[in-house]
Structure 1
């Protein structure tokens, strides 16, 4: 079993590419297929499920990046950005196809051709259809804007995680430095205590020698005087 720090990232990326290939085949096939609307809707529902799976794979890749060494992390971050761009493109294509199907449903919902242009009721129907199309387009734009905001939020969250990881490493390095300094201070303190003890011992020996010399001088003087 591969235990390298990039093993899980590579596994998630491989799963992502497989899901993306399945999405690509379905969407490209739908562009060329002339099947009924219900079959297309079923295919697009499967595409939506696979898009959610692919989105989860990208999230897992972003999490795994935090454990990759900083010396090689940049290349993996670039791969995640590419994956996000590919996923966003297919999400947009899927939403566009949903919009096209919705328009087609609106146009065929009455089950009969539109009335002649000089019929006032036909003009009203076309107005409603145009209004519905405008609402769908507005909804699509809102969805795209929400997706863009979500992607920006994800990137900001990843940046915050990277910043927090860097700060934690700095704190750990500072703690190790403090522990090393504390050990050095303890050793220096022990050395100073030994030097002070030896200094006192030397003072005692010096005092004893001086006392002995004074006694000898006194004895010699006493003998000479008496």
Structure 2
């Protein structure tokens, strides 16, 4: 549990560390009580001698010792149950953190793919732009040649008309 707490964000970590320390101290206290109780309980004849007849059913107060033992046992079981619940909650938190991390990885890979697509689109756009520039230059060159060809054709037609007029003029005069 201590290792799991280290992976939790700082605001939650301090609260969980305090709870963990509390649970540990309760568990240690319950263990000590259990050891004392088991060390105190000798064999039946020694017990009767030690307790002076208490606890063997001959006396009304014999139930007090059994009740305190049962109370200690109940507290120990309660502490163990709380530790188990805390462990389960920590495991659930860890599982949730792993799931969140997996989702984050998927999102990052998707974003990476989208970035690559955008870079390819930008490169394609730049290439298309360069092709458009070349096409524009080619069209401008073709327009200049067309204009030149029109002028040359007009000049040739004009020269032919002048020559025809001169030939007709020379034949008539």
Of 32, 40, 55, 1:108 maps to 32
What is the SS of the residue equivalent to 2:36? coil
Q: Distance in 2 between matches of 1:215 and 1:158?
A: 84
Matched, 1:147 2:123: no
> What are the within-5 Å matches in structure 2 for residues 61-72 of structure 1?
none
Deviation for aligned residue 1:122: 2.0
Of 138, 151, 154, 1:204 maps to 151
Of 132, 137, 144, 1:185 maps to 132
> What are the within-5 Å matches in structure 2 for residues 74-113 of structure 1?
103=27, 105-109=29-33, 112-113=36-37
Q: Which residue of 2 aligns with 1:134?
A: 81
Q: Distance in 1 between matches of 2:154 and 2:146?
A: 12
Deviation for aligned residue 1:112: 2.4
Q: Distance in 1 between matches of 2:69 and 2:29?
A: 17
Deviation for aligned residue 1:224: 1.6
Matched, 1:221 2:168: yes
Q: Distance in 2 between matches of 1:129 and 1:146?
A: 25
Q: Distance in 1 between matches of 2:135 and 2:25?
A: 81
Give runs of ≥4 in structure 1 deviating > 6 Å. 99-102
Deviation for aligned residue 1:133: 1.2
Contact kept in structure 1, 2:37 and 2:69, CA below 8 Å: no
Q: How many residues align?
A: 135
Structure 2 gap segments, 5+ residues each:
8-22, 42-54, 56-61
Q: Distance in 2 between matches of 1:102 and 1:143?
A: 19
Contact kept in structure 1, 2:30 and 2:75, CA below 8 Å: no
Q: Distance in 2 between matches of 1:143 and 1:105?
A: 23
Q: Distance in 2 between matches of 1:176 and 1:105?
A: 70
What is the SS of the residue equivalent to 2:37? coil
> What are the within-5 Å matches in structure 2 for residues 17-28 of structure 1?
none
| TM value normalised by structure 2 | 0.67
Deviations 1:102-159 (A, max 9, x none): 6454221477216769422222222222111111111110001100111111111111
Matched, 1:176 2:100: no
Matched, 1:159 2:83: no
Deviations 1:5-34 (A, max 9, x none): xxxxxxxxxxxxxxxxxxxxxxxxxxxxxx
